Chain A
Amino acid sequence: MPLTTNTILICAGGACISAGEKSVKDAFEEELRKYGLDEVVRVIETGCMGACTLGPIAVIYPESVFYQKLTPDVAREIVEEHILKGRIVEKYLYKASEGKPVPRVHEEVPFFKKQVRIVTRNLGVIDPTKIEEYIARDGYFALAKALQMKPEDVIKEIKDSGLRGRGGAGFPTGLKWELAARQKAEKKFVVCNADEGDPGAFMDRSVLEGDPHAVIEGMAIAAYAIGAQKGFVYVRAEYPLAIERLNIALNQAREYGFLGGNIMGTDFSFDIEIRIGAGAFVCGEETALMASIEGERGQPKVKPPYPVEKGLWGYPTVINNVETLANVPWIIRNGAKEFRKYGTENSPGTKVFALAGKVKNTGLVEVPMGITLRELIYEIGGGIAGDKKLKAIQTGGPSGGCIPAEYVDTPVDFESLQKLGAIMGSGGMIVMDEDDCMVDVARFFLEFTVEESCGKCTPCREGTKKMLEILEKITSGEGTEEDIEELEKLAHVVKDTSLCGLGQTAPNPVLSTLRYFRDEYLAHVKEKRCPSKKCKALISYVIDPEKCVGCTACARVCPVQCISGQVRQPHVIDQAECVRCGSCIEVCRFGAISKVTPALPVEEAVE
């Protein structure tokens, strides 16, 4: 055993890497070398720890002290103070609401305490590039156990657990396996769908980066259950780190004999290949995904036949999402009954969410199903940033909808969210405050689906485009009430007649905002007013002459030089020239600049 006194776990999830994790790690290692401590202190990069707003993060064991917002300089100071002298450096600890530093966040801070970690149990705990650490945390014991069971008993266990697909639609996983197992075919396949494409969602990436073996083990168990010999992980090219760690993990699993021929001394053989997607959102749709794996253009086909009947190259294929598969080893190891202790009757277990938007603690969280949106946003998420008012919660990305604030006590499960016109989705959750315009949000998501529509079927190709044009007309202040009706009609047509899930769900952001925020649409078309003061065509920036002290800060920052005025005299904005970039409002220290809606008529504003 190596000589080790301290272990520094550094979060190497995507967010922390972007925040400078690499340079922090280098600083730790360099400083440890300087003090001759590099042999007794281990530095390990782990998967995402979840608290992405606080990154880069490091946890130092054995004391399990949590340091946040690290820089190379801070890292050097921590080595000198904490590692060398054994003193916790308080100023870099997480601060609780009263400003009190908290060294051990996992026990004390609601963001961590309220989570239930099944899928993310190893994230931030183990080194994802070491299979031994996964084994130390009971890794591959589920596979060993499954191999001693009959395939139908494995399926029964998953069925009993009530596990439902975490990719968004929530189809019962055990049933899917059973349907595939029933098929008589010379070949069968298991596919892991890691083509995570919703804007702002990163659950699957984090799991692949932080605990790739859990997905591999889940796939091997699925393969044993249905009688497959070969598996594919379909992962998007934009996830290079996930691909790298998955490759390392696959090789290790082969070395240990968890993949390959005669797994663990049985006559079950199975291996996995990675297929890299070229960044098309539609390839997350299972028939398009299969076409892409087969080397065809990534376009969906009509279902049925379903993949469990005729999948890859016409053979029965089970396609499960990353998070679904990562649940499997836990369920086999602990049993369906244990799994059902979490979540609700119809939605057992947990769900991982990528919490984003106007919430204080953005990041990756795993919560039991049935938790209310309120608990998720206010307790785990820490409430709305800037203490503004919650307006809506967007779930399910471009396929989902906006849930207005009055439904904040809704439990998070498949049925409850669907009832509100939103969906569980893959786990993207964007929190919106009073500054977010719902029409603009609908426009944003539709812009995304228009771009990502594959173009095969007319309703999706043409319909979403037309819908986007109407939304752009409304946000630019030229919409009419008839446009809203037309938009709604079109939305229903696209929803009902599109070929695949992309088109069928693309109108959801529009339909849900129309359902709950129709008054905002009406304000845009009738009064030419954007209540959130977001749509540029409907607002003006004005300077309050009473408050303006003539400091010239705004005039200097204006990119189009449309602000004029003498030093120490109130300034004015030339509305005809103003591009509404908002730079002036950010630099004004006197609160003299504000937005008004509807926009001022240009003639009046010019003095």
Chain B
Amino acid sequence: MAKVKSLEELMKIKEQALKDLQLRGETGKRGKITVAMGTCGIAAGAKETLKAIVEALNEYNINDIAVVQSGCMGLCEVEPTVEVRLEGQEPVIYGRVTPENAKRIVKMHILEGRVVEDLVVKRGEA
């Protein structure tokens, strides 16, 4: 580790480290993405989906969205399923979320604020 020589360098380390801390959910969460990770979900590839979501969030430098796992949502035939719940908006459940679809969801829904219509399984509270 190079020695910190200035306030700017310290600030850089802080920003990097803060991202990591924010993942724990302590600060300004804008919402969360829940990946259903029941046996059915995992069998359908939910692990890859989860990975793709986190990678996409990193790629777009989004750190105010939590990624959590849940059990089976009961929609086994359209697994992997993903729920996107943004602050102040009705939750959306997406089905058949392959890693490619996951990236689309992050880009369109999280980044641009548009629901990915062709993947929607359900809208609103359960």
A interface with B by C-beta (< 8 Å): 1-7, 9, 36-37, 40, 61-64, 83-87, 125-126, 132-133, 135-138, 140-141, 144, 148, 255-258, 260, 264-265
Contacts and interface: CB of A to CB of B under 8 A. Distances in A.
Contacts, number: 108
Q: Which 3 A-B residue pairings sit nearest by Cβ, starting from the closest?
A: A62-B25, A257-B3, A86-B70
Interface string B63-103: 00011111110000000000000000000000000000000
Given A1-B20, A132-B16, A257-B5, A85 B71 contact: yes
B5 A5 contact: no
A5 B67 contact: yes
A132 B25 contact: no
A3 B4 contact: no
A256 B2 CA distance: 6
Given A61-B25, A62-B23, A62-B29, A135 B70 contact: no
B70 A85 contact: yes
Contacts of B14: 135-136, 138, 141
B38 interface: yes
B10 interface: yes
Interface string B17-34: 111110111100100101
B47 interface: yes
Main secondary structure of the interface of B (DSSP, over half): mixed
B13 interface: yes
B1 interface: yes
B87 to A, nearest CB: 13
Given A1-B20, A5-B67, A7-B23, A255 B1 contact: yes
Given A4-B67, A86-B68, A135-B14, 13 more contacts: A5-B54, A6-B68, A9-B24, A62-B23, A62-B66, A64-B26, A84-B37, A132-B17, A133-B17, A133-B21, A135-B10, A136-B18, A256-B1
B47 A36 contact: yes
Contacts of A4: 23, 54, 67
Contacts of B19: 1
A265 B6 contact: yes
B126 interface: no
A6 B69 contact: yes
A126 B25 contact: no
B46 to A, nearest CB: 11
Contact of B7 (A9, A144, A255): A144
A136 B5 contact: no
B94 to A, nearest CB: 16
